[in-house]
Structure 1
């Protein structure tokens, strides 16, 4: 329609009308581009807000899980210290030694909720996040958690864990798992040990097991190295808790989670 009018005005040599038609076309194109840009920007803002909400939910779950993992490994560390003390004496409580030695070999691992983060990175949408969240803390958290997972895997595959569970009879291990083992949080993640340890095992079996643990010099040696592994997990998990708090603050979440 507009092209036909322009042709007619050119034939008539009505240059004023031609100029006016051209102006109308330019303004129409400009407005169309601006509207498209505005719609795109509005869509980006909505997508960015959705990312932020999903990241908050992921990180809040991670905060609870990581805090529980931290508490769990602190309990494992305490069991290592207790087992070391009881191994060094011949008249220590056999029941407590077996429990402490077993708990010192425990491990737990909770992977982060990273589906949203991976989607943001793979889609090239980091620019849609708030400026404060695009810094090092967010990417450092997910990278650092991967490093901690490697450290936890070393606890799982430790020679101490293999040695002590090779010595403790299977029926004793089953009894420990049934009445003296892990508890789960609301997310079904291991959060600590049972407060009350009910171990239904004959005392003579516990005494014989404690003697085997004390008589094996590798147990004490591996136990000391187990301490360093668990201490590394505790340090890393503590760092992850701090990172999560900072990232939540940058995303507009609560700065004080603990």
Structure 2
């Protein structure tokens, strides 16, 4: 209709009408574009808010799991402390020494919950997240290897290798089966089981304990092992503090205004 009126005005050389009708068309296109941009911006805001909420849920899950992992390493450290005391004792209880020496070699790990983050990256929507979350580099958490480093250090520990090379396989298996890890309702380790009903004779305990006590390198290796455990516990504690801060940023209510290219 407007185009027909403009065409008629051209034929009649009615320049005022041409100008008015053209202005109406331009203004309509401009307002349409602005409305489209506003709608897209609102959709981005909603999507960014949904992403932030989902990331916060993922990180809260990770906080719970990493708290359990920290508790586990505290239990491992307690066993290491008890082992050191028993090694220094004049007449240590054989069963207690062997069980604690073995428990001090245990490890566990945890990987960040990445599903939401991977979706954001693959869709190029990082810029929709709260600016502080992006600018402060919180996304690096999802490639965090803190827990994995703790496990790798434990696996490479000379103390772990020495103890597991010394204690007979049958006793190690009995400890794992009847006196091993305690887990929560979803299978994460949180510590060690208290009910240790081990089918091992006194003679077997005494022989295994004597093998540990007679190894002059066991205590030096245990001292080095303490350093690894201290690093693991410190790193996990720092990670938990950082994750609490990340949740605060995600729940601040401010989201980004534009998309960013996937990284």
Asked if TM exceeds 0.5, the reply is yes
Pairing of 1:160-175 with structure 2 (within 5 A): 160-175=159-174
**Equivalence for 2:261:** none
- 3-state DSSP of counterpart to 2:111: coil
- 3-state DSSP of counterpart to 1:172: helix
Q: Distance in 2 between matches of 1:6 and 1:62?
A: 64
Pairing of 1:40-79 with structure 2 (within 5 A): 40-79=40-79
Q: Distance in 1 between matches of 2:94 and 2:30?
A: 85
**Equivalence for 1:7:** 7
> Segments of 4+ in structure 1 off by > 4 A?
none
**Contact 2:159/2:225 (8 A) holds in 1:** yes
**Equivalence for 2:256:** none
1:200 aligns with 2:199: yes
| Mean Cα deviation higher: 206-215 or 115-124 | 115-124
**Equivalence for 1:158:** 157
> What is the deviation of 1:187?
2.6
**Contact 1:141/1:243 (8 A) holds in 2:** no
TM-score, normalised to structure 2's length? Answer: 0.89
How many aligned residue pairs are there? Answer: 252
| Mean Cα deviation higher: 183-192 or 119-128 | 119-128
Q: Distance in 2 between matches of 1:171 and 1:50?
A: 53
- 3-state DSSP of counterpart to 2:190: strand
Structure 1 regions of 5+ residues with no counterpart?
A: 254-258
**Equivalence for 2:210:** 211
- 3-state DSSP of counterpart to 1:217: coil
Q: Distance in 2 between matches of 1:102 and 1:22?
A: 86
Q: Distance in 2 between matches of 1:241 and 1:198?
A: 35
TM-score, normalised to structure 1's length? Answer: 0.90
Pairing of 1:185-196 with structure 2 (within 5 A): 185-196=184-195
> What is the deviation of 1:90?
4.4
Q: Distance in 2 between matches of 1:113 and 1:225?
A: 32
Pairing of 1:1-258 with structure 2 (within 5 A): 1-136=1-136, 138-139=138-139, 141-142=141-142, 145-252=144-251
- Mark the CA change 1:51 to 1:234 in structure 2 (over 3 Å): closer, same or farther: same
Give RMSD over aligned pairs: 1.9
> What is the deviation of 1:118?
3.2
**Contact 2:72/2:189 (8 A) holds in 1:** yes
Q: Distance in 2 between matches of 1:138 and 1:186?
A: 29
**Equivalence for 2:258:** none
> What is the deviation of 1:141?
3.7
> What is the deviation of 1:85?
1.5
Q: Distance in 1 between matches of 2:88 and 2:198?
A: 23
**Contact 1:66/1:241 (8 A) holds in 2:** yes
Structure 2 regions of 5+ residues with no counterpart?
A: 253-263
